[in-house]
Every structure is written in structure tokens, then in C-alpha cells.
Chain A
Amino acid sequence: MTDFIDAFRTALGLIVTLDPDLVEILVLSIKVSLSAVVIASLLGFAIGGALAVYRFPGRGAVSAVLSALMGLPPVVAGLVVYLLLSNVGPLGVLQLLYTPTAMIIAQVVLVTPIIGALTRQACQDLLEEYDEQLRSLGASSSAIVATLLWDGRYRLITAVLAGFGRAIAEVGAVMIVGGNIDHVTRTMTTAIALETSKGNIALALALGIVLLTIALAVNASLIWVQRLANRLAYA
């Protein structure tokens, strides 16, 4: 129980004093996960929208694989990216291993299926409503995708938030491809793992509280944007 009380006290102290080490890893965590989510969103919207609208052989299988990949263990994503970026791997020449870029790539691999699968579902639901109407207007498939993405934008925000939640919370992938190097690739989650293994349970828990607070702030601001947009749209 004392660990919990200590944790809240430590968390408060870290936030109030803006501990420079904390700020550094926090900024890196957010930078990496937001970059990954932006890239994964663009990929996921395109893939999900296309899967909902275009008809091609094997479409069902692709959708199933995409959904299954939502459960891809971060460690596996990390290992795959490690093998690609390692000096003996095909992309070793880029020298990206143990850099934040490697962490972004690993998180894109993790997050794209989540955003893609949720986008596909959102577009498919809308398509059932609109299909005839759109087709009767003679809209091309690509125009339909664009319309569905636009009309489904609020649902897509949820998809993006789900992706962000996954990215900011995962530790397995960034640990392997980033290496948890102090001042270079240490993020909130790898720092939490490290402090836990040092036996600094209260500090680890405090970092967790800070991370949750940040996640809450990101979610709240996106929901606020969504509401604002809604109000403007119907004003």
C-alpha cells in the first residue's frame, strides 16, 4: 500500500518540478507514438477504405489477416523490424537500429492493422447505407472511398485513438529495436520496465501514472476537437 501512496507522491513531484529526465523521455514517447500513428493512419485509412469498397479475389482473406494482425504481439513486431534493420538484415545499410526512427517503424507495423481494420469496418457500415445512392450517382470506387472516409471521420477518430493507445502503451517492440538507450531511445514504457527491474517500484508506478495522464490528455483533446467540429458543422 505504501508503494501506491509513494507512487502518487512521486508522480506529482515529477510533474510539478518538470523533472528534465522525465520531460526528455516523455517527449520522445509522444514524438515516436504520434509519428507512428500519423503514418499508420494514412496507411490504415487507405487500406481500410479500399478493402471496404473494392471487390477483388482474396478480399475476405486480406480482411481476416488484417483483423488478426490487430493481435500482433509487440515483441514479434519488434523482432521482425530488428531482423530487417540489423546490420546483417536487408535494411542494415540504413543504420536505423537503436534509433527513434526504428521505434516509429515498429509501431507503424503494430498500429496500421488496428486503424486499417477499424477503418474497413466503419466504411463498410456506411457503405451499406449509401451504396445504391452513390452508385446511382455514378460515383467511381475511389470517390466512394473518399466519401466514406469523410463521412466516417468521427468513427475514424476512435480508430486513431485505439492505435495511439496501443502505440504509447507498448514496450516489447520499442525495447528490442530501440534498445532502451538512455537519452537516445528511452521511452516511458521502457523506463517503467527498467525501474521495475531495479526494484524502484514506486518510481515505476509513478511513471505509469504520468503516462496515463498524458494518454488521457491526448484522448480528451481529440474528443474535444471532434465535438468542436460537430458543433461547427451543425451551427
Chain B
Amino acid sequence: MKFHRRVLFGLGAAFLLASLASTGFAAEDDFIIVQSTTSTQNSGLFDYILPKFTEKTGIDVRVVAVGTGQALKNGRNGDGDVVLVHSKPDEEKFVAEGWGVKRHDVMYNDFVIVGPASDPAGIAGLKDADRALAKIAEAEAPFASRGDDSGTHKAERDLWGQAGVDPTKGSGDWYLETGSGMGATLNTAVGKHAYTLADRGTWLSFANKDDFEVLVEGDPKLFNQYGVILVNPEKHPRVKAEKGQAFVGWLTSGEGQKAIASYKIDGQQLFFPNARPGT
């Protein structure tokens, strides 16, 4: 009997501790959760603009940085109040299916193809991104792909499609699907002397470049649009619609747009605001 009491006591203590821990941690409610992408987090943009929003509104913004695919999935599950991602067709589908209230353009930057200075496929300076990819495939030069259904990965797949190449045939040989975030994929690319497609923001802030350079840029096909969507409170009643909307409104307002434009690394602007006011 004595032992049973001890077990009960133990379990009781465990429960008490767990509840204590939870109350101690999650006391305030003045925050929203934003499901976003590794590209925006790794580039340092959030660290720069979010304090400005919090200072103005008192609302803390908690960012969960995953790929666009997972961010939208988590939003669909109601595990976030706002999604900020970069894959317009998927975002429109998300809203059309009723998971999001409305999609707003926020900002854009562009993708770049980076690779080792030795440039084994000879793509440096090409103005045509899909031609560059075709040349990489032809040379079977190593290429690191996100392979994680992220916005960047979707953009990359589109480019391969336009190049008329199915790179997955070389999967594991010269086509390396890392299945990880932008930074991790850049690390892999550098380690394997592989080309990769990166968003300019992450590339500029990436600190482990070695001898890597931007080889292809400026093709309109490399345009990278970010959108923000409030998760639909009608689908998920626990969504903090008011606070979430305040964040969406601020991002697309003159003030938020100015904050985005003023984020620079080494004098280079990383994101270009392009919200249409009043939409």
C-alpha cells in the first residue's frame, strides 16, 4: 500500500510540476503566431522589423519559420494567426479554399543562381535562368535543391519545367535534394561545390559563402513575391483575428513598407515593398 501511495504521490508531483511549468511560461496572451518561411527568418528581416511593430502595438509576434508548404499546412490546421510566405498560386488556393481571409502582396525580392567561382557548367552571366539550369543538367554539374516543397523549391521546379529538364533523374547523382531550409541547403551547396537557387535575402546574409558567387540574376522569371494572409477565424475560432489583422495592416501600411525597405545588409536592400495600399 505504501508503495502505491508513493507512486500516486510521484504522479501527483509530476502533474503539479507540469502545470506549474505551463502557467509560469504561458501567462500573457498578447501575441500572435506567424507561420513563415526560412528565407525571411534566415535573412534577418524579422529581427529587424518586428520590434517596430511590437513597440507600436504592444503585440508580440512569434515567428515559426518553416518552408512555405509546411507554413500553409500549419495555417490550415489553425496553428497560427497569420501566414507570410512566397508561393502565389498556393496562397491563392489557400484563400480560395477558405483557410485564409484575403491575400495581400507585401514585398518582393529575387532569386539568384549561385555557385562556385570555378563555374564548371559555364553559366556565369547568362540572362536566362532556365537556360542556365539546362546547361547545369547537360554538364551534370552538382546542383543542390531544397527538395522541401518550400516557395523556393516550387520556383526552382518551375524553372526546370521551363528548361524542359527533369532533374530528378539525376537525383542522388548530380541533383542533390537536401530536404532542408535555405541556409542548410546553401551549406550543402558550398560543401559539395554545387549550384543552387537561393533567394537574394538569405544569400546576402549568409555567412559561409566560401568562394561562391551570384552567377545568374536579373531574369524576370526569378521574381520572388511574398504575400501575407490572415488565417480565417471562421474556420478556426481561436485565431486572434484582430491582432493578426493589425499585423497584416501594419505590414502593408506605409510604415511597415518603409521598415521593410530600410532593412539592408552591407548597404544592399534585401526586400522591396510592393503592397498596394487599400487592398
Contacts and interface: CB of A to CB of B under 8 A. Distances in A.
Contacts of B62: 98, 179, 181-182, 184
Interface string A159-187: 00000000000000000000111101000
B interface residue count range (under 10 / 10 to 19 / 20 to 34 / 35 or more): 35 or more
B182 interface: yes
Interface residues of A, number: 39
A200 B246 CA distance: 34
A43 B13 CA distance: 11
B17 A196 contact: no
B14 A197 contact: no
Contacts of A99: 22, 25-26
Main secondary structure of the interface of B (DSSP, over half): helix
Interface stretch (B112-120, B159-167, B201-209, B254-262): B201-209
A196 B184 CA distance: 7
Interface of B: 1-4, 6-7, 10-11, 13-14, 17-18, 21-22, 25-26, 33, 38, 41-42, 44, 47, 62-65, 77-79, 180-184, 186-187, 205-209, 236, 238
Contact of B21 (A98, A100, A199): A100
A163 B38 CA distance: 31
A142 B4 contact: yes
B49 to A, nearest CB: 13
Contact of B64 (A46, A96, A180, A199): A180
Contacts of B4: 142
Contact of B187 (A31, A39, A104, A196): A196
A142 B206 contact: no
Nearest to A99: B26
A146 B18 contact: no
A86 interface: yes
Interface string A87-111: 1110010011111110011000000
B183 to A, nearest CB: 3
28 contacts: A31-B21, A35-B17, A39-B18, A42-B13, A43-B14, A87-B79, A95-B26, A95-B238, A96-B22, A98-B79, A99-B26, A104-B18, A142-B1, A145-B3, A179-B62, A181-B33, A181-B62, A181-B63, A181-B64, A182-B63, A184-B62, A196-B187, A197-B183, A198-B42, A198-B183, A198-B206, A200-B208, A201-B207
